[in-house]
Structure 1
Amino acid sequence: MTDPDASTLASADDALFRPVRTGNAFEETVERLLQAIRLGVAGPGERLPAERDLATRLNISRVTLREAIRALQEAGYVESKRGRYGGTFVNETLPAAKPVGRQGPPVDIEDVLTMRRVLEVGAAEAAAARPLTDTDRVHLRNQLAESRTDDLSEYRRKDSRLHLAIAEVAASPALTSAVADVRVRLNELLDAIPLLHTNIDHSAAQHAAIVDRILAGDTAGARDAMAEHLDGTASLLRGFLS
């Protein structure tokens, strides 16, 4: 006779550990592992599937999987044990969720992410569609360079400044104002999750791709590059906060 609880676990396990998309493999892997932990598919003290099996099921490299596990280890969600009975285990006590939206109504994650996607994907496309001035081009390049900071205490601010610069060169004050408003709400969410070095490196490469496509006047490329970048951030937010 089949154990109904085992069947439920197997189906949830299969759903959470399905193949990830390639564009934001690290971020989506972190999201999947956090979902498995938060939903109890991998409960406190339990071991995650073996690295080789998990990498195959998620359709990612073992390097990407190890980076994701390392990020969760640093954030206090898992620990790695060596030896015959070793592996990656969920910590018995998980980190307490940080408060979000302390100075006002609770921040709705999906509302913020939807508004951000509509505004910022559109801003990247609009910026690429314009005949940019030399001043616009210098402004974008300068903000891109500034965003590559090694000072983590400055990272959120400089990241925000680059995204605002993209809206600014789209030459719509109303759009820039809307992007600024949603960025304030977004940063409340971002401040509640850890800064992950692998994600910062990945974001830097994506930022460069977005700016390159805007400067080249590639509207479709700018739109797609921004959408992929935002999807990575959304995966981390959903993983840590949902």
Structure 2
Amino acid sequence: MDSVGDALFRPVRTGNAFEETVERLLQAIKLGVVPPGERLPAERDLATRLNVSRVTLREALHALQESGFVESRRGRYGGTFVCTASPRAMPTSVSRVDDIEDALTLRFVLETGATEFAAARELSDEDRSHLRARLDECDRAALDEYRRKDSRLHLAIAELSGSPSLTAAVADVRMCLNELLDGIPLLPKNIEHSNRQHAILVDAILSGDSSAARRAMAEHLDGTASLLRGFLG
């Protein structure tokens, strides 16, 4: 593997291991580090280089197989191979890499700030019940309605900041984000992980720990950003 491959297959961070593994593999495929028709490094080697478990790696490979980027072959010369014709992402009006990064930066600033303010405020019983209801709604959402329920939870957090202007700004960036998300597949493993992060995030807000809430939101947003950069970048 050349130096580019060494750079891409470097250890991932632990907070969003699945999402970052998907991102690294997609980068290697899209940049031609592993050309169409060629085999990815062996699972054991790849898991070691990315510093992830074999389970996480297999889940990431399964997601890419379901999305049409790689295929699994059995037998003596089997393994995971890059498909000769990779799928194209659904078109979005936000298509340039700079536009994607701009949207992700704006989202990060707005939503981490809104979360910090939400956790710092004295919340009413009604506020707390509303937030828990949105969390439960997202956790129980079917695959085809997940993004809508996820949006409602994030907007509920923004509303608890107490700033209508900030809430409106989060809603605007969420519209842009959903347009980007429509260009990538829904990954059940990512949804499972997001729901766990949502629970940690809401717990931090309800306990009034603004620093922990901000950190939890930042980590959560980083996971989504990894997938968007991987699939659309």
TM bucket (normalised to shorter chain) is over 0.9
The unaligned stretches of length 5 or more in structure 1 are 1-8
Paired residues of 1:100 and 1:106 also in contact (CA < 8 A): no
Matched, 1:80 2:80: no
1:58-79 deviations in Å (ceiling 9; x for gaps)? 0000000000000000000000
Matched, 1:23 2:52: no
RMSD in angstroms over aligned alpha carbons?
1.5
Matched, 1:38 2:37: no
CA drift of 1:97 comes to: 2.3
Of 221, 227, 237, 2:228 maps to 237
Which amino acid in structure 2 is aligned with residue 35 of structure 1? Answer: Q
Of 213, 216, 219, 1:222 maps to 213
Paired residues of 1:101 and 1:107 also in contact (CA < 8 A): no
Q: Give the secondary structure class of the aligned counterpart of 2:2.
A: helix
Instruction: Work out the CA distance in 2 between the residues paired with 1:166 and 1:51.
Output: 40
Q: Give the secondary structure class of the aligned counterpart of 2:72.
A: strand
Matched, 1:167 2:158: yes
1:80 to 1:105, Cα distance in 2 relative to 1, 3 A: closer
Instruction: Work out the CA distance in 1 between the residues paired with 2:116 and 2:88.
Output: 39
**TM-score of the superposed pair, with normalisation by structure 1:** 0.94
1:96-125 deviations in Å (ceiling 9; x for gaps)? 2210128x9998100100000000001111
Instruction: Work out the CA distance in 2 between the residues paired with 1:80 and 1:161.
Output: 38
Q: Give the secondary structure class of the aligned counterpart of 1:79.
A: strand
1:206 to 1:124, Cα distance in 2 relative to 1, 3 A: same
> 2:2 — aligned with what?
10
Matched, 1:50 2:25: no
Which amino acid in structure 2 is aligned with residue 59 of structure 1? Answer: N
Stretches of 4+ aligned residues off by more than 3 angstroms: 104-107
The unaligned stretches of length 5 or more in structure 2 are none
Of 86, 89, 108, 1:94 maps to 86
Which amino acid in structure 2 is aligned with residue 29 of structure 1? Answer: T
Of 130-139 and 146-155, deviating more is: 146-155
Instruction: Work out the CA distance in 1 between the residues paired with 2:15 and 2:214.
Output: 14
Instruction: Work out the CA distance in 2 between the residues paired with 1:33 and 1:106.
Output: 18
CA drift of 1:152 comes to: 1.6
Instruction: Work out the CA distance in 1 between the residues paired with 2:96 and 2:73.
Output: 42
Which amino acid in structure 1 is aligned with residue 84 of structure 2? Answer: E
Matched, 1:123 2:123: no
Percent identical among aligned pairs is 71
Structure index of larger Rg:
1
**TM-score of the superposed pair, with normalisation by structure 2:** 0.97
1:177-232 deviations in Å (ceiling 9; x for gaps)? 00000000000000000000000000000001000000000011000000000000
Instruction: Work out the CA distance in 2 between the residues paired with 1:13 and 1:114.
Output: 27
Instruction: Work out the CA distance in 2 between the residues paired with 1:188 and 1:143.
Output: 22
